[in-house]
A and B are shown apart, each in its own frame.
Chain A
Amino acid sequence: EISDGVVKIGLMSDMSGTYSDVAGEGAAVAAQMAIEEFGGTVAGAPIEIVTADHQNKADIAANKAREWADTGQVDAFAELVTTSVALAVFEVAKQQNKIALVSGSASSPLTNEACIPTGLHWTYNTRALAVGTGSAIVKEGGDSWYFLTADYAFGEALERDVSAVVEASGGTVLGSAKHPFPASDFSSFILQAQASGAKVIGLANAGADTVNAIKAANEFGVVAAGQKIAGLLVFMPNVKSIGQDVAQGLQMTVSFYWDMDDETRAWSQKFYEKTGKMPTGIQAGTYSSVLHYLKAIEATGTDDTDTVLAKMREMPVEDMFAKGGTLRTDGRMVHDMYLAEVKKPSESEGEWDLLKIVRTIPGEEAYGPLSESTCPTK
């Protein structure tokens, strides 16, 4: 019943570039951990994982994905950080009818206009980030916003999503400055944001851009003067590289934090022993998506795409990452998100004790109803 007698997962990530910290080899380790939980076999067949470094290049990803699907007996793709890669692999997955488990990419279109029947978007998306951070901050009184937006599709999407949330919650958006991507100096944009008089400066960017913007804001005394910084896509490694004393008080939406409950702590400890780092949400999400996929195979006894997909949709996602998560027909995995805040250095008890969870955002609220999805095949 298992094609080629083996269940093979092709995990593709950025192993050497910008995203190698938040996804990369750690994601491969996480997937491996899911396989180990099955003892290496599922439905009587061995489970194998192959990995590749797509180097953030869509053509390498497309090439690998095609090759794996055509000649490598790969049954599902996993991780897929960077939207261009995820989209390229979606194209292959659609043609070859393979399951694509997206964990790393944040792009909302993956479950909207660019959705495919076999594509599952697991960890987070820009909308969830917007809802978490946007509504929480407006609720606390941060009702006028100014955005620093990276001048490319992702930045614009993020700004659009957050603006909608802010306005829906009764706040106003005073304006935005588009900065080049990547930009090394933010002082000029910070000054513009300062001059706008907005209560909140929203950073619709990611990675080094976010870090640089926050460092500049700190230097120019933005927070001291009463404005608030909202990082819309911040990962733990980013917080570490900003430094806790600068980042303290920063609020952000996360899909996962290692120190949430006993389960996450136990799993993260295991992960830490293998990698020397605590897991990020992308890495934990990769674990969850692979685990759920294997569970469905175990339950159905086959690796046939349609059967497995149906089973995955039918079963709730239940593991240390997601509690009672559900898979929608547009491919969205709906699960709770969390609003977290960076701890003060004085509150922190160790190198990795960086965040505290201030609010749980129910999955429905974070991802919105299925009716809002523009996915044609939903």
Chain B
Amino acid sequence: MTDLLGFPPQVLFGQLLLGLINGAFYAVLSLGLAVIFGLLNIVNFAHGALYMLGAFATAGLTTYFGIGYWGALILAPLIVGAIGMLIERFLLRRLSGVDHLYGLLLTFGLALVIEGSFVKLFGSSGLPYAPPPQLMGGVNLGFMFLPWYRGWVVLAAVVMCLVTWYIFEKTKIGAYLRAGTENPKLLQAFGVNVPLLTTLAYGYGVALAAFAGVLAAPITQVSPLMGSNLIIVVFAVVVIGGMGSIMGAIVTGLSMGVIEGLTKVFWPEASATVIFAVMAIVLVLRPAGLFGNAT
């Protein structure tokens, strides 16, 4: 049993795995952002609030309707996705044709409204939520104890990422989405129902946020402000990956989780800023991000 950099290898393996699990959250969240940024060219500042809505919907479905985790896994993204579509249809759509920065500002305002209202409605401490009984307990991997639930999180997140990647890069819809990003009017003149496409894309991106919220509900505090700080880190992840790049969001999400995890071992005080530091370095070397194309 030799030590690596002063830490027993078990610890290191354990931290790597945990980093990957956290990375899964970053990946799903930044993926949603990338989808929305891709088609609407909007940095969805409300993403954290919608992630929170996903977690609240999960807890709420149990408390008020007796619907358990697995039901929520389907329903919460649908509900929140529908809310997202309403937001797109009645608010964001009015911004078509004006500078995309206004989209950022609008969603920033929305985040304040949503989070503020939830503090009023549910208090700042939030609701309790436990993992589903099927995933209680865990397995001893030798180097660490892995709760089943964490294992499930990675699996679910990776599957979701791959599905999304396939849709966007390999299907006709994906081509529409990319074209719509650049010149929606022209795409519409070719006979594609761009307004519908936009609404669906936003709904999908938001549903991804809610999906991450469902995954998070059993492991973090389900509280109104749970997404407000997380979102900034996710923004940095998206920038590192290259904004709008689906693959970039996935790969960077996972690897930033790992890097952050390792920092927590070697230099815990820096773990809050390590991602921003990586971002700065990446930007110096590759201004368009790791997967972005320089234009």
Contact = CB atoms under 8 A, between A and B. Distances in A.
The answer to whether any beta carbons of A and B sit under 8 Å apart in the complex is yes
Interface of A: 16-22, 151, 177-185, 187-189, 191-192, 195, 207-208, 211-212, 215-216, 219-221, 225, 235, 237-238, 240-246
B269 interface: yes
Query: For the side of the interface on B, what is the size category?
Result: 35 or more
Contacts of A185: 18, 22, 219-220
B37 interface: no
Contacts of B264: 177, 179, 188-189, 192
A151 B294 CA distance: 38
A237 B125 CA distance: 6
B138 to A, nearest CB: 7
A254 B11 CA distance: 36
Given A180-B271, A188-B19, A215-B220, 10 more contacts: A177-B264, A184-B230, A188-B15, A189-B268, A191-B18, A220-B147, A237-B124, A237-B125, A240-B125, A241-B127
Contacts, number: 120
B116 A219 contact: no
Contact of A188 (B18, B130, B219, B269): B18
Nearest to B227: A184
B268 A179 contact: yes
B116 A208 contact: no
Main secondary structure of the interface of B (DSSP, over half): mixed
Contact of B145 (A189, A212, A221): A221
A348 B129 CA distance: 18
13 contacts: A18-B124, A18-B225, A21-B124, A22-B125, A177-B268, A187-B150, A187-B219, A188-B261, A189-B268, A215-B218, A219-B147, A221-B137, A221-B138
Choose among A19, A22, A195 the residue with the greatest number of B CB atoms under 10 Å from its CB.
A195
Given A237-B125, A241-B126, A243-B128, A211 B265 contact: no
Contacts of B116: 16
A251 to B, nearest CB: 19
A22 B225 CA distance: 15
B157 interface: no
A221 B15 CA distance: 16
Contacts of A246: 128, 130
Contacts of B11: 191-192, 195
Question: 4 tightest CB-CB pairs across the interface, nearest first?
Answer: A243-B128, A180-B272, A237-B125, A211-B221
B149 A179 contact: no
B145 A184 contact: no
A178 B119 contact: no
A183 B269 CA distance: 11
Interface string B133-148: 0000110000011010
Given A177-B268, A191-B14, A219 B219 contact: yes
B123 interface: yes
Given A208-B225, A221-B138, A16 B144 contact: no
Contacts of B225: 17-18, 208
Choose among B124, B149, B230 the residue with the greatest number of A CB atoms under 10 Å from its CB.
B124
A323 B116 CA distance: 38
Given A16-B116, A188-B15, A219-B149, A21 B230 contact: no
Interface string B20-42: 01100000000000000000000
